[in-house]
């Protein structure tokens, strides 16, 4: 097993050298994801991912969002990324986002195949299976950042505020409801008030971060050691801006 992993990483180093060209001697650690993406035709390698700190990963996500907003996304060769990642994946982050079709994480952060784990569920709620998936991403696969990504005008949050009762959705919305009394807000507290809806969504992200730490000793430990950073953000549907909430 160890031998095959070595062989695999050796193959990836060879591939990277070939992609960078023999005349390029830039040390790997000094290359950002953007530089790498523009100078190679593959996915994130283990060496590249492991060389990054959690803060650098967050910085790269912010830069990717800036490229998205500026309409300057990287021209990706998805087939090359598919080929490069087929034998192994080394994502730098795991994102827990909403089901909403307008918040595709890989697009709003301009990441490629193999760069990020993405779990999506309405209201970006932290349930047992999502928690297990995040533990796999960080504890087994080695991702450096856990990002809970809420968004403006979230229908699930509106549903929770309106106390919607509908099949299995009822149980899902119950996971969002603690964010309602926990939101301090002066003004009309209804799903018709976009400012209020966004305030509850923001609280929902903050409570989600607390849930992750409280219910996963594994992730809490990785965060204490500085191996992993657990953070949240709000995506604005209108502006495309991802606002990190800490
Ligand atoms: Zn939503």
* 117-138 per-position pLDDT tens digit: 999 999 999 999 999 999 999 9
Centroid of ligand 1 to alpha carbon of 124 (angstroms): 7
Q: How confident is the model at residue 12 (pLDDT cuts 50, 70, 90)?
A: very low
Spell out where the chain has E strands.
93-97, 116-120, 145-151, 229-235, 242-244
Centroid of ligand 1 to alpha carbon of 135 (angstroms): 23
Centroid of ligand 1 to alpha carbon of 242 (angstroms): 14
HSE at residue 241, side-chain half, CA atoms within 13 A, is 4
Question: How far does Cα 8 stand from its chain's mean position?
Answer: 26
Q: What percent of the chain is predicted at pLDDT more than 90? A: 81
Centroid of ligand 1 to alpha carbon of 14 (angstroms): 42
Q: How confident is the model at residue 169 (pLDDT cuts 50, 70, 90)?
A: very high
| pLDDT higher than threshold 60 for residue 39 | no
Asked if 145 and 92 touch (Cβ cutoff 8 Å), the reply is yes
Centroid of ligand 1 to alpha carbon of 99 (angstroms): 6
The token duo for 231 is 């953070």
* pLDDT value, residue 246: 61
Q: 147 — phi, psi (to 5°)?
A: -120, 115
Spatial distance between the Cα atoms of 218 and 131, rounded to a whole number of angstroms: 10
Centroid of ligand 1 to alpha carbon of 204 (angstroms): 11
pTM for the model: 0.85
Centroid of ligand 1 to alpha carbon of 121 (angstroms): 8
Arithmetic mean of pLDDT, 172-186:
98
The token duo for 132 is 């297990």
Centroid of ligand 1 to alpha carbon of 56 (angstroms): 27
Centroid of ligand 1 to alpha carbon of 201 (angstroms): 8
Centroid of ligand 1 to alpha carbon of 147 (angstroms): 15
Provide the residues around ligand 1 (an ion) whose CB is within 5 A. 98, 100, 154, 156
* Most distant CA atoms of the chain, gap in Å: 63
| pLDDT higher than threshold 50 for residue 9 | no
């Amino acid at each position: 097993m160890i031998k095959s992993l070595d062989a695999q990483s050796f193959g990836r180093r060879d591939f990277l050298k070939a992609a960078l060209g023999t005349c390029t001697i830039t040390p790997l650690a000094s290359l950002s994801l953007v530089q790498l993406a523009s100078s190679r035709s593959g996915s994130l390698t283990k060496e590249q991912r492991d060389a990054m700190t959690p803060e650098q990963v967050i910085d790269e996500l912010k830069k990717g969002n800036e490229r998205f907003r500026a309409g300057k996304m990287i021209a990706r060769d998805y087939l090359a990324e598919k080929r490069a990642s087929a034998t192994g994946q080394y994502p730098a982050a795991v994102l827990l986002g909403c089901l909403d079709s307008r918040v595709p994480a890989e697009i709003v952060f301009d990441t490629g195949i193999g760069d990020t784990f993405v779990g999506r569920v309405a209201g970006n709620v932290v349930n047992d299976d999502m928690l297990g998936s995040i533990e796999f991403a960080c504890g087994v696969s080695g991702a450096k950042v856990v990002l809970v990504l809420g968004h403006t005008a979230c229908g699930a949050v509106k549903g929770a505020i309106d106390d919607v009762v509908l099949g299995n959705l009822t149980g899902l919305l119950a996971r969002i409801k603690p964010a309602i009394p926990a939101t301090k807000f002066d003004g009309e507290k209804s799903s018709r008030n976009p400012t209020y809806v966004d305030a509850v969504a923001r609280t929902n992200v903050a409570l989600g971060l607390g849930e992750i730490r409280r219910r996963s000793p594994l992730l809490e430990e990785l965060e204490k050691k500085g191996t992993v950073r657990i953070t949240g953000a709000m995506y604005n549907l209108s502006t495309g801006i991802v606002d990190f909430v800490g």
